Structure 1
Amino acid sequence: MYDPQSIIQLIAGNVRATRNPFGAFSWVLNRWWKGLGLPRQGDTLLATGLMVQSVPFIEKITGHLERLEDTRWAPFVGYGAWIPKKLVQLGSLFMVRPKEQAPYNQILKDVVTLLRHSGIRFAYRPDLDFYSGILLYDLGDHEAFVAHARFVASQLRKAGVRTLITVDPHTTYAFKVLYPRYAQAVFNVHPYFELLRLKAPQNGHRVTVHDPCFYGRYVKLSHIPRHVLRDAGVVVCDVPQSGLLTHCCGGPAESVSPNLSRHIVTRRVEQLQRTGAPILAMCPICLGNLKKVGAEVEDLASFLVRHVLKPSKH
């Protein structure tokens, strides 16, 4: 296990300097929206929180951390905080290839497709799509989280944003629960699946839904995606460890102990595979972590587009 304080300092330094936990250029992380013709004006904003786009970067970084954990080189990881941020940004240009980003960018495009199909009007402004800071909160750096949250909230308020449509549980929890508490910023927050209007007959598809911790236990929204799936003609096969009783995928532990994270996700996959149905994830961190140990798993939005909106093409 790595020294948590060194990891926290590294992440907090990157967030202060670049507003994302990797120290990357924002345009390197966030280019999925180009060519979609998304409107820029409006008080309802699609807020990705940069989470989905970040998964390829997380996979690269945690891969290195996993190889170094419990070796004589592990204590030197903390010295990454001393690397000049401009150099870190330049390094981000070469960290992840476009083809590695493409599957995760497609998830966001699928969310847009679903919202448009459901008649939801929204805007998207990449200059206002900030990382929420949730990892700082998770790791216990309260001061850094509050400072970042207040900055993000102030930018959104200046732009007249009132409603946020989120695409992952971490960003949802941050804006829905933490920002009112710590940044005195109240927005109308809706995860995208809460707004979907899909109707389809039974289509023979069976799925097992993995509930991320924030949706399952903290904001208690697990029933909504199940209603969406059933309305779309999909049979949901739940395991006992679902909803309020969901088990963690191990993703939040990756930055401190990749080995512990792998142990947790292996146990979780064993639970989910007992139904024999393909697994759906609603969180990019869960999706990446479940895939890491060979699970057959797909994002909820991508599944709905492939099997409900475009079934004849598959």
Structure 2
Amino acid sequence: MSPAFVITGLLWLSMAGLAYALARRAAYWRVGRATPAGAFGVANLFTIPKRYFVDLHHVVARDPYIAKTHVATAGGAIAALALVFVNYGLAIYSPWLDKLIGVAAVTMLIGAVFVWRRRRDQRAMPARLSRGPWNTLPWLLGSFALGLTLLAVVPSAAASGFVAVIIAALIAIGAFAMTVGAARGGPMKHALAGLLHLAFHPRQERFRAGAGQTDQPGAVPPTALKMPELDAREYGVGKPVEFRWNQLLSFDACVQCGKCEAACPAFAAGQPLNPKKLIQDLVTGMVGGTDAAYAGSPTPGIALGKHGGQPELPIVSGLIEADTLWSCTTCRACVQECPMLIEHVDAIVDMRRNRTLTEGDLPGKAPEVLANLRETGSAGGYDIAARYDWAVDLNARIAERGKPVDVLLVAGEGAFDMRYQRTLRALVKVLNRAGIDYAVLGPNETDTGDVARRLGDEATFQRMAKRLIATLDGLNFKRIVTADPHVMHSLRNEYRALGTRYTVQHHTSLLAELVQSGKLSPKASAALADKRITYHDPCYLGRYNGETEAPRRALKSIGIKVVEMERHGMRGRCCGGGGGAPLTDIPGKARIPDLRMADAREVGAEIVAVGCPNCTAMLEGVVGPRPEVLDVAELVAAALE
């Protein structure tokens, strides 16, 4: 039998294997809940090329080595498979197509060699990478590529008998890993699930140009949590089957690269959270079994082999410990780094909602804070009429019905804290100096509900949001300014699902704008300008809202040269203050703010500039010798004196 007929047979056998793999994995995804009617259709499949070559590779390209490797391996494989299908599936048997198959196969082989090279030295191999089956993957891919290369270069006369068997065996080994191996949950399932995940991603808004800028009030921006239908008894996720089917699909797309693990502040602090392991646990719960075969870094403090689950069994604590869910700061560093665009934070909040809304099971001070929000409108249980007592001597006008104002200043929950009041006072002094027509929200300001939502109490969030919206809608203003990124994110993004559309600006953006327009001419003193100053990016300003340059422009405008920490901008390290983490207070081997302050010490910083009250509180809580922590508004105000 000629090698051509053998390859044709292998091709159609592989196609059958691919169909089997798809059917097998799809059976697991289908146990999940349905998506809203009409949310997805066949047309979504046509979005894959753009999302693969643009959106996905935009993330992969941050690591040049693996980006080039992925282009060679995946690109070579796709091209080779397409050409094999044309030449052998359609029985063309063209020598010229064989040559093209050879070029694609060599490209894939080179990529497989680079994959192997990174894993060759186990001691030098990044700890974030999974071992086990992933270490054999380069050999399987290389086998497939080598077989196709030999098919293209070995003359037809020589490609018979034993040589033909060798070629067929090499191709078959790789094809088996890509089909049946994927069906069984092997490494190559990420390729199959990953492509479909791009088409049916739970957050389609991530791929829409200008998704965060749309004027549609109800449009959900890419970083806003989606609003569940409480009236339809959507109370979060307590079992794997309660995830939507496309969320289960997204978990299967995980390539176990561990970039989420390396970025996670809770994992770095030794708290019981590893986002990569979390996603793999959810895959285990989807298909049934235990975590004994997991080949990556374990969750800190939790041994492998002691947890397992089934689609219909509770996730906590058979599959995942409750402390794992409460360790998350919702900083989105994992989502930012994930090359497969998986939404870890959405999954965690979904599971938190179930713990909060159905079980009432929250650790630490979280129950007390939620009770305070419901009863007083303040997380600390304060009299909300006292929220602006710090401004009584600053001639800050209080917003009133029927009296228009350009800027409405919303302070947020931190206004009850004496340290944050220093920031607010500095900001108001700057506004007064610039002659801005502003007013503070006043005694009717209630909490935005951000903390309640991150803790899973969606009911309290919606109640708080509607209450604050009613207050805001009774006033006449052009834009809202706040020094709290969490307040900004709620008002700007998350309230849209309730039908609102506010123009909301972070105070550092306003400060930079005032200097640029000439309304302010600050100049730092020589003593301040000579200090080494670094800037810490708040997660809810940077990753959630994409604002990293305005604070730096504001600092630069007063003559300060920012010394950057290694992790800054969209990849900055979290301070540990988001997601209700300070309230749940899950112990670890270190504290997240201590790690961040160590970053500042590494660059010799004498001052850490911040733009968030949570960051200020967390970083100032670091004990021992450390840089001074000052808000950007404080530095600008000082430069005006």
> The TM-score by the shorter chain falls in which range?
0.7 to 0.9
Pairs within 5 Å for 1:130-145 = 130-145=446-461
Q: CA RMSD in A?
A: 2.3
- What is the deviation of 1:290? 0.8
Whether the 8 Å CA contact 1:30–1:50 is kept in 2: the answer is: no
Q: 2:546 aligns with which of 213, 220, 240?
A: 220
Quick one: structure 1 residues 262 and 18, their matched pair in 2 at CA, closer, same or farther if it must change by over 3 Å? farther
User: Does residue 272 of the first structure (1) align with residue 603 of the second (2)?
Assistant: no
* Cα distance change on mapping 1:33 and 1:116 into 2, 3 Å: same
2:612 to 257, 272, 283: 283
Q: 1:208 aligns with which of 519, 530, 534?
A: 534
Aligned to 2:621: 292
Q: 1:261 to 1:49 in 2, by over 3 A?
A: farther
Distance of 2:431 and 2:550 partners within structure 1: 15
Shift, 1:219, TM fit = 0.3
Distance 1:121 1:48 in 2: 16
CA distance in 1, matches of 2:588, 2:610: 21
1:258-279 CA distance string (max 9 Å, x none): 6449621111111122111211
State the one-letter code of the partner of 2:576.
Answer: G
What SS is found at the alignment partner of 1:254?
A: helix
Question: Residues 177 and 260 from structure 1, CA distance in 2 versus in 1: closer, same or farther, beyond 3 angstroms?
Answer: farther
Structure 2 partner of 1:230: 556
Q: Deviations over 1:7-53 (max 9, x none)?
A: 544322211211011222124444111121122343431101132x2
Residue segments in structure 2 that go unaligned for 5+ positions in a row: 1-322, 327-360, 516-520
Deviations 1:123-143 (A, max 9, x none): 123123322111011112112
Equivalence map 1:1-314=2 (5 Å) = 4=362, 7-40=365-398, 41-43=403-405, 44-51=407-414, 53-55=415-417, 101=418, 103-181=419-497, 183-196=498-511, 197-198=514-515, 199-200=521-522, 203-252=529-578, 253-257=581-585, 259-260=587-588, 263-277=591-605, 278-294=607-623, 295-296=626-627, 297-306=629-638, 308-310=639-641
For residues 11 and 222 of structure 1, the distance between their equivalents in structure 2, rounded to whole angstroms, comes to 31
Greater Rg over alpha carbons, structure: 2
Q: Which amino acid aligns with 1:194?
A: S
Amino acid at match of 1:38: A
Equivalent pair of 2:372/2:380 in contact (CA under 8 Å) = yes
Shift of 1:109: 0.9
Q: TM-score, normalised by structure 2?
A: 0.39
Name the residue aligned to 2:139: none
Deviations 1:40-74 (CA, angstroms, capped at 9, x unpaired): 343431101132x244xxxxxxxxxxxxxxxxxxx
Q: TM-score, normalised by structure 1?
A: 0.76
Alignment length, in residue pairs? 261
Shift of 1:209: 0.4
* CA drift at 1:248: 0.8
Q: Is the 8 A contact 2:396 2:439 kept in 1?
A: yes
For 1:26 and 1:50, locate their aligned partners in 2 and report how far apart those are by CA, in whole Å.
9
* Residue 85 of structure 1: aligned partner: none
What is the percent sequence identity of the aligned residues? 25
The aligned amino acid for 1:274 is E
Counterpart CA distance in 1 for 2:586 and 2:617 is: 13
Return the alpha-carbon distance in structure 1 between the equivalents of residues 622 and 484 of structure 2.
Answer: 21
Q: Report the Cα distance in structure 1 between the residues aligned to 2:443 and 2:478, rounded to whole angstroms.
A: 16
Q: Secondary structure at the match of 1:235?
A: coil
> Aligned partners of 2:472 and 2:451: how far apart in 1?
20
* Structure 2 Cα separation of the partners of residues 105 and 283 of structure 1: 12
> What letter corresponds to residue 506 of structure 2 in structure 1?
P
Larger RCO, structure (CA 8 Å, separation 6 or more): 1
Please list every run of 5 or more consecutive structure 1 residues that lacks an aligned counterpart in the other structure: 56-100
